[in-house]
A = this chain, B = another copy of it.
Amino acid sequence: VTSDATPDRIGILGGTGKLGAGLARRWAAAGIPVVIGSRDPDRAEARAQELRRDIPVDAAELSGASNLAAASAPLVVAAVPAEGAEELVADLAGTLAERILVSAISPLAFDASGPRPAPLADGRSAAELVAELAPAARVVAGLHTVSSVGLSDLAHPLDEDVLLATDDDAAGDVVAAAIGHLSGARPVRAGPLRLAGTLEALTAVLISINKRHRVHAGFRVTGLER
């Protein structure tokens, strides 16, 4: 992955949530302009203002806008809950055409026994549904298990890999380059988009580990050259 692939702007759908805000902070601090989107643009701008306080003064621009405005960036991250994601992506399908769209969506359910994966009835992953709803978008599944606590702690590098699943290798390169700017994180190409369901389900395992061991855990792949 060459640094040439680094996108010149990143839009984050659901950027006011924990994962979205954490990504925005890290990427802006690393010099990549970020637009965080929300259903409510005023809320997004208020959140952006708050996030700007925590990043170096020489960081890149971090602004808040509508999800529609965020969706017009060359790289768009869907950091939204599974509930509502379907409608949001369908609404934005036109704008998302030809954009690289990272699905960080993990459909989960929670009960007294903790979290569990909650895939769609037909076994499809959220990322595969997103790819159907926005057929001209270049979908990459990833960023499911990145700790929002870790992302928000700018003083420390992350210690985890980001598994990516996509059928679009060139889009994967751009996402990998962007992940390379999240200090301490390493992108790992896992395979085709049809493996996205396992990456999404892994979020339930991660949350379960976090609860059981009272930690903020991450995953690394060993045996790769670094």
Tell me, yes or no, whether A136 is within 8 Å of chain B by CB. Answer: no
Q: Are A204 and B209 in contact (CB under 8 A)?
A: no
How far in angstroms is the closest Cβ of chain B from A123? 8
Contact of A190 among B163, B191, B197, B205 (CB under 8 A): B205
| Bound CA span A201–B119, Å | 13
> CB distance A116 to B194 under 8 Å?
yes
- Across-interface contacts of A205 in B (CB, < 8 A): 163, 190-191, 195, 198-199
Q: Is the CB of B192 within 8 A of A223?
A: no
Residues of B within 8 A of A224 (CB): 209, 213, 215, 217
Q: Nearest CB to that of A223 among chain B residues?
A: B217
| A2-42 interface (Cβ within 8 A of B) | none
Q: Please encode chain A, from 69 to 112, with 1 for each CB lying within 8 Å of some chain B CB and 0 for all others.
A: 00000000000000000000000000000000000000000000
Query: Does A124 count as interface, using CB distance less than 8 angstroms?
Result: no
A135 an interface residue at 8 Å Cβ cutoff?
no
Query: What B residues does A159 contact at CB under 8 A?
Result: 222-223
List B contacts of A123 (CB < 8 A): 119, 123
